[in-house]
Amino acid sequence: MGGKQNALTPQPNSLPPPAATGSCGHRERLLEKYTERGLSAFSDYEVLEFLLTFALTRIDTKPLAKTLLHRYNTVSAVINAPFNELCEIKGVGKRSATLLTLVKDLMAYCLREGMVNKDVITQRGDVENYLRTKLKERRDEYVIALYLDNGNRVLGDEIVAEGTVNRCVIFPRKVIEGAIKRSAASFILVHNHPGGTAAASEEDWKTTERLYNAGKQIDIPMLDHIIISKDKAVSLREFKRWPE
């Protein structure tokens, strides 16, 4: 009576919590599946679907995961897609693109950590895995110089040239400057062939000869030139044409 409200009358802003939605329950099932069985129990789209739940917390991520997989074909290609390109895909947004790019960068970071204080010659598989992570899905040619100390341990790496899908101009001066800056004892050159096989072109051999001679002049030898394609890595040092 008067202005009093019955204690049992719901207040205007007193709403019951929303019931768990179907997508919320599915997220929990994905989380439980991962904690119990790992990613090996997931299909390709489920890997992306589960990952995207950490960036898109209020929507069903399955349709977006399938869209990304349809566009890029593999999980690896999605993770390695350019950030700006991912942002332009409907439903992805900056937050999801950042998460996908972060996964790729974390993989490279961990592999690089694993290389520290390791002998590059006896652990070349580790070097190739690290470089493949950085170069495998690149759509243009990139050249990386890997700088080593006297014990063939990694001092650091640097992208020394960028180009188009089938051509990249390398300036020996930039490679040598990087070696001197790091007080390197030697270096390895690595580049990708995004548009073809790992077979060396005539230009690759000419570049190898120029950099080999440049390093020899200042007593910082080039130990190898590795070419990485989508499925293979080739060491030019294993060929008879390697300069001596």
Q: What is the pLDDT of residues 160-219, one digit of tens each?
A: 887 654 556 788 899 999 999 999 999 999 888 877 777 888 888 999 999 999 999 999
Segment 68-95 mean pLDDT = 91
**Stated pTM of the model:** 0.61
Which pLDDT score is estimated for 15? 40
Cβ atoms of 127 and 134 within 8 Å: the answer is no
Least confident of 1-10, 20-29, 195-204: 1-10
Strand order of the sheet with strand 222-228? 154-162, 142-148, 186-192, 222-228, 233-235
Domain 119-238 CATH superfamily: Cytidine Deaminase, domain 2 (3.40.140.10)
**For 232, which DSSP code?**
-
Alpha helices in the chain (DSSP H): 22-37, 44-52, 62-72, 75-79, 83-87, 93-115, 124-135, 172-181, 202-217
What mean pLDDT, rounded, does the chain reach? Answer: 81
Sign of the torsion formed by the C-alpha atoms of 183, 122, 131 and 192: positive
Q: What SS3 class is residue 190?
A: strand
Cα radius of gyration rounded to whole Å, the chain? 25
123 pLDDT more than 80: no
| pLDDT band of 86, cuts 50, 70, 90 | very high
| Range(s) of the chain covered by CATH 3.40.140.10 | 119-238
Position with higher pLDDT, 164 vs 24: 24
Which pLDDT score is estimated for 169? 73
The helices-and-strands tally (H runs, E runs) of the chain is 9, 5
CA-wise closest residue to 179 among 162, 157, 161: 157
Position with higher pLDDT, 30 vs 166: 30
CA-wise closest residue to 59 among 102, 27, 103: 27
